[in-house]
Amino acid sequence: MIIGDIADSLTRSIERTSDAISEAFFEPTIRIGVTGLSRAGKTVFITSLVANMIDRARMPGLMANAQGRILTAYLQPQPDDAVPRFDYETHLGALTGPTPHWPASTRAVSQLRLSLRVQPGGLLGGLQGPRTIHLDIVDYPGEWLLDLELLDLTYTQWVEKTLGRIANRSQAATYLTLAASRDAAAGFDETTARDLATSFAAYLNAAREDGFSDCTPGRFLLPGELAGSPVLTFAPLAKPATTPRRSLWREMERRFEAYKSQVVKPFFRDHFAKIDRQIVLVDALGAIHAGPPAMDDLRRAMADILSAFRPGRNAFLTKLFLGKRVEKILFVATKADHLHHKQHPRLTAIIEALVSEAKGRADYAGADTSAMSIAALRATVEETLQHSGKDLDCVRGTLADGRQAAFYPGELPEDPQRLLHPARDGAESWLDADYQVMNFAPAALSLKPGEGPPHIRLDKVAQFLIGDKL
Ligand code: GDP
């Protein structure tokens, strides 16, 4: 190497090091994970949060904003070139355009970088110039988190567990009949594998529709670009007496292992392990409406989700995290605009009870957790109607066909255990109450300059997630 080259490469490496140092010191990056089971409200949440961070008139609960220290917020290209970008503009267009409608939901992982210019606060704040803080928002399906459990299981163990769990589920009857009709010791052929995988995926989708959340492998529900590939073309088959080489069973076992190493592990390595702060969205109102079995299932899913964040959860994650851990986890009940604000504390009490139970079940001790109820996009206004001589606190919104309707969702109990107990005890329906949800369309908006879309408590969410870093 000639001297010029050496000098050149030295300068470059110094440049790179100082870039890294300046980024770490002066331009901190906070990676915020946004997850929740499908339809929990992730897409609407990210879109409205970002719009409200860019135009902050509706964000008084974010302290740095109330103090006038956030000078500007803008989108930037994200640093991870291989991760799809969260399609913010299209989603915002859907929500705030001339004919507002709900955007297409999360199907896979995506990411968006929002950068803030912030004037530091505190005693020395006035002496320093503004600095830039990057928020990398990572959207991923909660179903993928539940796959973590698979890493602890061999194919044989997974098959036993899965077949045990689904034996009495009506949604699985077709799959179980098909699996029983196939000889797992016979030679492998792709058509049989595909039929089994398709039928098993149909079971998972039906179970998910009916409110079950223990529906792994998660990619069978949201396959994305992996649809039809061998890593998604397997299913649980009871182990036959002999498992010759090239048999159907052996190939299923191989594909299960490939799913673990080529699908589950990369997700945890490339996305999950880098998250600093996490928000988990929960459609608690939807589960309450669906009845006690769905509520009970939600309880279990929350414990499973939380256990993915438990330090030392398994050897693979421990190695990935290298002692780093998620610092804060916020659980939020979404779509609170279905309720009059007088009922919000009750919804919050329910989500708090669910979180504290999940912590107990997952034997969780780690990050700071909190719970609240929010609406990422407020689609209703409040209205009090007279009914049988009594005040009835309702909300009014626009239906899909454009008509306006007032809606009374039912009264949530003051004590969350009135819902959690029957759910735990296996009740089929709520005894003394009926809870409704309504699919309101987003309201047509006329935003003043500086105003983001209307919401409930998104500013409190932002304060919990990033307030201490501003
Ligand atoms: P994802 O699957 O988690 O990405 O869920 P989405 O963000 O697509 O939300 C699913 C559906 O929930 C939407 O299509 C809306 O019908 C509803 N939704 C989500 N957020 C809100 C909200 O803040 N208010 C109301 N009224 N509905 C919401």
Taking only the tens place, the pLDDT of each residue in 153-173 is 999 999 999 999 898 889 999
Cα-to-centroid distance, 322 and ligand 1 (Å) = 35
**Domain match, 128 and 53 both:** yes
Domain encompassing residue 160: 146-267
- Picking from 234, 267, 300, the residue at the C-terminal end of a domain is 267
Decide whether any atom of ligand 1 lies within 6 Å of the 271 Cβ. no
**Domain match, 242 and 165 both:** yes
**Domain match, 228 and 82 both:** no
Give pLDDT, residue 336: 96
Cα-to-centroid distance, 375 and ligand 1 (Å) = 9
Decide whether any atom of ligand 1 lies within 6 Å of the 440 Cβ. yes
2, pLDDT greater than 60: no
Highest mean pLDDT among 16-20, 124-128, 255-259: 255-259
Q: Which of 335, 415, 409, 320 is nearest to 373 (CA)?
A: 335
> With DSSP H G I counted as helix, E B as strand and the rest as coil, what are the percentages for the chain, rounded to 5?
45, 15, 35
Q: Which of 121-130, 167-176, 328-337 has the lowest mean pLDDT?
A: 121-130
The answer to whether residue 32 sits within a structural domain is yes
**Domain match, 184 and 109 both:** no
Q: How confident is the model at residue 12 (pLDDT cuts 50, 70, 90)?
A: very low
Who contacts 277 (Cβ-Cβ below 8 Å, separation ≥6)? 30, 31, 32, 33, 326, 327, 328, 329, 330, 465, 466
Decide whether any atom of ligand 1 lies within 6 Å of the 41 Cβ. yes
d(CA 16, CA 448): 43
Cα-to-centroid distance, 365 and ligand 1 (Å) = 31
**Domain match, 132 and 153 both:** no
**Domain match, 364 and 457 both:** yes
**Domain match, 317 and 456 both:** yes
The total number of structural domains that make up the chain: 2
pTM of the model: 0.89
Output the DSSP codes for 20-69.
HHHHHHHS-EEEEEEE-STTSSHHHHHHHHHHHHHS-TT-TTSHHHHTT-
The answer to whether residue 430 sits within a structural domain is no
Identify which of 102, 106, 109, 436 to mutate to test ligand 1's pocket (most ligand atoms within 8 A of the CB).
102
Give pLDDT, residue 282: 94
Q: Whose CA is nearest to atom 2 of ligand 1?
A: 39
Who contacts 425 (Cβ-Cβ below 8 Å, separation ≥6)? none
**Domain match, 195 and 129 both:** no
Identify which of 37, 39, 436 to mutate to test ligand 1's pocket (most ligand atoms within 8 A of the CB).
39
- Picking from 208, 240, 267, the residue at the C-terminal end of a domain is 267
Mean pLDDT on 119-128: 78
Q: Which of 255, 20, 253 is nearest to 156 (CA)?
A: 253
The answer to whether residue 393 sits within a structural domain is no
Decide whether any atom of ligand 1 lies within 6 Å of the 102 Cβ. yes
**Domain match, 321 and 450 both:** yes
- Picking from 228, 248, 267, the residue at the C-terminal end of a domain is 267
CATH of the domain at 68: 3.40.50
**Domain match, 308 and 202 both:** no
